[in-house]
């Protein structure tokens, strides 16, 4: 496995440990003053990965469009996620990286289009994208840690 993908996977396993003791109700709870919740943040990591790697790489999504739209930038939770949906999101958090790793090995991202993040960081290649994802995930890990403190 690509070392950067392995590092992202390790971080995501830590996230899963962080939320392991939370009930579906807690994962769905939106803390006062905020517009999303812990489970939305998990789904957002998957959707962001797909957007940053695949859409920006000129490739089709590996996700259902409805899933992507539910978790993309600017979205909010539109329903309470069931136990089954939560488990699916947790599984995708890890398995989706296997697809990225396989596609890296076959150079699938060779038509990557340059773009700027909302933080004004230019992403010009798949290598830049691989370096950006840990920063993005770190922001959301911080949110999840803060939300957990607010809901327990």
Instruction: State the CATH number of the domain containing residue 93.
Output: 1.20.120.450
| Helix ranges restricted to H, the chain | 3-19, 24-28, 38-50, 65-71, 83-105, 126-151
Q: Is the dihedral of CA 110, 113, 117, 120 positive or negative?
A: positive
Domain count, the chain: 1
CA distance 27 to 14: 16
Regions of the chain with pLDDT less than 70? 1
Domain that holds residue 107: 3-151
> Which CA distances in Å does 18 have to 31, 34, 77, 130, 137?
17, 20, 21, 23, 14
pTM, two decimals, is: 0.95
**pLDDT score of 47:** 98
Asked if residue 122 lies in contact with residue 129, where contact means CB atoms within 8 angstroms, the answer is no
**pLDDT score of 1:** 62
């Amino acid at each position: 496995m690509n070392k950067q993908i392995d590092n992202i996977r390790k971080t995501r396993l830590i996230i899963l440990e962080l939320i392991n003791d939370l009930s579906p109700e807690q994962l769905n709870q939106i803390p006062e003053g905020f517009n999303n919740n812990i489970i939305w943040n998990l789904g957002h990591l998957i959707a962001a990965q797909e957007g940053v790697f695949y859409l920006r790489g000129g490739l089709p999504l590996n996700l259902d469009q409805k899933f992507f739209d539910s978790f993309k930038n600017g979205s909010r939770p539109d329903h309470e996620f069931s136990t089954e949906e939560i488990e699916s999101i947790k599984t995708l958090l890890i398995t989706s990286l296997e697809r990225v790793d396989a596609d890296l090995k076959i150079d699938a991202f060779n038509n990557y289009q340059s773009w700027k993040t909302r933080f004004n960081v230019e992403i010009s290649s798949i290598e830049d994208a691989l370096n950006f994802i840990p920063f993005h995930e770190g922001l959301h890990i911080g949110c999840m840690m803060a939300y957990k403190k607010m809901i327990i």
